């Protein structure tokens, strides 16, 4: 380890050669498998393959902030502890196990700037730096009330002003050059001020600051998750009005596609969260595109056995499901849906490609176009063109192929092209490390999908009405989950950043705010589902038997919404602490050891039907 007087290079920090706090080491470690893969790829690369450094990202300003870091700054700087808001990797069904979303420690220039702004804002909140805007000498009562409620600055009476000491006026962008202060010295002064304040324990936060941060992090994620899940909901909405047999068939087809397709694609693609991020952080941008190609080819190869299962799904479902017509329609749905499988696999890989570069908005922009088009095509094909049931999977297949095309256009014309070095035969080599990293992700995602898909299969043993009702209930609980889960990701990010900067008190405040927000969201979902239980089912189907059955079970689904939101948020806080394995084992135990036996025992043993199936889930979430 370098002595305190020696500068420490960023690559030393990233390789884990410097000790960090017990909290930060749990989630800032680099993957040796990924490093092995990068080393092999570099050995195969020609000199012509390695691009010249981008001048924009190697400016003197950035070098002064990130390439040379003092040892004491490792514990204090939010730049070094900053975690990206989220890898938006899980959309679709409602997961049984809150997934562990790998977070990269490698930051883009924009993300480093964001973390510096966080430090500057906290200094202002604690009256350790001048306010951004000068305060007026007098305030009217309305302004005072507004600031008391919404201002993130701490009251001065809470701060020991004698121990605080005077601070020099912070120069603006105009006055800095006049006073002879360069951008580099400006940032060094800010870093020194921040480190001294953290070391003295003067950095606190307020619930207003944490509420604003939580809103800023979570609001775009909520929109993205809802848009991505709308791709599934559109088919349920459209087909449900054709009849309960068709509605049940969509549920069976979605179950099969999730278990024997989408879960495989999503689970295996999680290895790119590590491979692409470490290639990008190591400065080997051409390897990010190489990892993308490798994963796309791998998933396309797996599409062959997946396609065989989907083509034979009618025969397979006939052996399992008593409702033969539902099995026939589900098989038809999957055969058409197979046309979109390669596009879905390419999009899951491309999503990681842009997110490794910090381009999280790319997925949102793509979904803002694709989701409305998907809903329109469902309506157009099923009702206007009168294609009936087969129109729904055609719309989904078209959308699945449209998603990677839109993402390609974003990379080509907006941002992300710098990590693409063209097609190469090297993508067919060195698959071993990728597969090693991918298999754990596959097992995790399959475990998430399986618990709720088993309920769909069990519902088919009661009647077509029960299967159709199960499809609506599963869709509703998945929609409501798209709100607390993104909030939990935002809470995880914020807590991890604060603990990485050794601001434990601030992390506690942030966690309390997140729990209060989760409680509010959970109660909102409870009130919404319970009060509209007789009206919501009518949005999905015209069959009165299905509507009555959903309305009778919906109060139970509404009751566990509070537990659902709290469990998701607690899982996020555990991820922020680097202790996600605790939440994983708890969820596995509660769902597979407790919930599943109770669900099947009450549903079939006590003849509670659909109510019994969901009783086990409610108990698991409560536990």
User: What confidence score (pLDDT) does residue 552 get?
Assistant: 96
Whether the model pTM is above 0.75 = yes
Token pair recorded at residue 159:
């701060």
Mean pLDDT along residues 94-116:
67
Q: Which pLDDT band, with edges at 50, 70 and 90, does 601 fall under?
A: very high
When comparing pLDDT for 342 and 36, which is higher? 342
Let me know if 55 is exposed, middle or buried by CB neighbors in 10 A (0-12, 13-18, 19+): exposed
Residue 40 pLDDT exceeds 50: yes
pLDDT of amino acid 116? 81
Q: What angle do CA 444, 445, 447 make, to 5 degrees?
A: 65
Helices marked H in 258-340 — which ranges? 263-269, 271-281, 285-311, 313-320, 324-337
CB atoms near residue 154 (< 10 Å)? 17
Choose among 348, 323, 344, 349: nearest CA to 253: 323
The alpha carbon torsion through 544, 547, 553, 557 (nearest 10 deg) reads 180
Distance CA 301, CA 312 (A): 18
Written as six digits, the tokens of 401 are 């192929």
Could you tell me what percent of the chain has a pLDDT over 90?
Answer: 49
- Give the pLDDT of residue 126: 79
Position 137 scores a pLDDT of: 63
pLDDT per residue as tens digits for the range 392-450: 999 999 999 999 999 999 999 999 999 998 999 999 988 888 888 888 878 878 887 88
Q: What residues pair up with 9 in beta bridges, in sequence order? A: 68
Nearest to 290 by CA among 546, 68, 593, 34: 34
CA Rg value for the chain: 26
What does each C-alpha distance from 122 to 199, 357, 524 come to in angstroms?
14, 27, 31
Comparing 80-84, 148-152, 467-471, the range with the smallest average pLDDT is: 148-152
Q: Of 64-68, 228-232, 542-546, where does the model show the most confidence?
A: 542-546
Handedness of CA 557, 560, 562, 564 (dihedral sign): negative
**pLDDT grade for 112, boundaries at 50, 70 and 90:** confident
Confidence band for 1, pLDDT divided at 50, 70 and 90: very low
> Reduced to 3 states, what is the DSSP secondary structure of residue 126?
coil
SS (H, E, C) 20-40: CCHHHHCCCCCCHHHHHHHHH
Q: How do residues 250-309 score in pLDDT, each as one tens digit?
A: 999 999 999 999 989 988 998 888 888 888 888 888 899 999 999 999 999 999 999 999
- The residues, any chain, with a CB within 8 Å of residue 52's CB and separated by 6 or more, are none
Residue 469 near residue 250, CB atoms below 8 Å: no
What pLDDT is attached to residue 100? 58
Helix axes 432-459, 271-281, angle to 10 degrees: 150
Give 426 or 53, the one with higher predicted confidence. Answer: 426
């Amino acid at each position: 380890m370098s002595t305190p007087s020696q500068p420490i290079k960023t690559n030393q920090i990233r390789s884990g050669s410097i000790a960090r706090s017990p909290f930060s080491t749990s989630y800032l470690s680099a993957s040796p498998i990924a490093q092995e893969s990068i080393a092999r790829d570099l050995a195969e690369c020609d000199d012509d393959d390695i691009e010249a450094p981008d001048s924009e990202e190697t400016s003197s300003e950035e070098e002064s902030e990130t390439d040379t870091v003092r040892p004491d700054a490792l514990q204090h700087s939010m730049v070094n502890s900053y975690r990206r808001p989220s890898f938006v990797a899980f959309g679709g069904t409602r997961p049984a196990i809150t997934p562990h979303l790998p977070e990269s420690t490698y930051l883009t220039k924009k993300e480093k700037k964001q973390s510096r702004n966080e430090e500057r804002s906290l200094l202002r909140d604690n009256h350790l730096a001048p306010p951004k805007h000068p305060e007026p000498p007098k305030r009217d009562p309305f302004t005072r009330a507004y600031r008391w409620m919404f201002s993130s600055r701490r009251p001065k009476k809470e701060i020991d002003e004698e121990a605080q000491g005077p601070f020099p006026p912070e120069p603006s962008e105009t006055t800095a050059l006049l006073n002879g202060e360069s951008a580099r010295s400006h940032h060094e002064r800010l870093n020194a001020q921040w480190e001294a304040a953290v070391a003295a324990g003067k950095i606190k936060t307020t619930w207003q600051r944490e509420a604003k941060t939580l809103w800023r992090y979570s609001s775009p994620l909520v929109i993205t998750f809802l848009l991505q899940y709308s791709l599934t909901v559109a088919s349920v909405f459209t087909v449900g009005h054709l009849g309960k047999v068709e509605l049940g068939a969509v549920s069976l087809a979605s179950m099969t596609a999730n278990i024997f397709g989408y879960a495989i694609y999503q689970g295996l693609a999680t290895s790119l969260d590590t491979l692409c991020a470490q290639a990008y952080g190591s400065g080997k941008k051409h390897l990010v595109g190489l990892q993308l190609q490798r994963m796309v080819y791998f998933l396309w190869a797996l599409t062959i056995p997946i396609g065989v299962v989907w083509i034979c799904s009618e025969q397979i479902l006939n052996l399992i499901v008593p409702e033969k017509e539902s099995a026939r329609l589900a098989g038809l749905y999957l055969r058409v849906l197979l046309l979109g499988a390669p596009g879905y696999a390419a999009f899951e890989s491309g999503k990681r490609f842009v997110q490794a570069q910090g381009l999280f908005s790319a997925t949102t922009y793509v979904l803002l176009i694709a989701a409305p088009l998907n809903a329109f095509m469902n309506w157009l094909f099923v009702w206007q063109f009168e294609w009936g049931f087969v129109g729904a999977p055609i719309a989904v297949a078209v959308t699945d192929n449209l998603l990677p095309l839109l993402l390609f256009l974003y990379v080509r014309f907006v941002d992300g092209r710098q990590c693409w070095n063209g097609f190469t035969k090297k993508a067919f080599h060195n698959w071993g490390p990728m597969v090693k990293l991918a298999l754990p992700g596959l097992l995790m995602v399959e475990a998430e999908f399986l618990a709720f898909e088993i309920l769909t299969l069990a519902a088919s043993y009661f009647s077509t009405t029960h299967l159709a009702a199960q499809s609506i209930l599963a869709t509703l609980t998945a929609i409501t989950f798209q709100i607390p889960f993104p909030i939990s990701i935002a809470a995880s990010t914020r807590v991890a950043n604060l603990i990485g900067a050794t601001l434990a008190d601030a992390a506690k405040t942030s966690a309390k705010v997140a729990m209060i927000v989760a409680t509010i969201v959970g109660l909102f979902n409870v009130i919404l589902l319970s009060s509209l239980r007789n009206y919501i089912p009518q949005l999905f189907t015209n069959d009165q038997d299905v509507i009555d059955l959903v309305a009778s079970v919906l109060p139970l689904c509404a009751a566990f919404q509070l537990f659902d939101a709290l469990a998701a948020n607690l899982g996020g806080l555990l991820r922020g602490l680097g202790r996600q394995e605790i939440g994983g084992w708890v969820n596995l135990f509660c769902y597979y050891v407790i919930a599943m036996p109770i669900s099947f025992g009450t549903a079939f043993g006590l003849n509670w039907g659909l109510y019994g199936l969901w009783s086990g889930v409610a108990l698991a979430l409560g536990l």
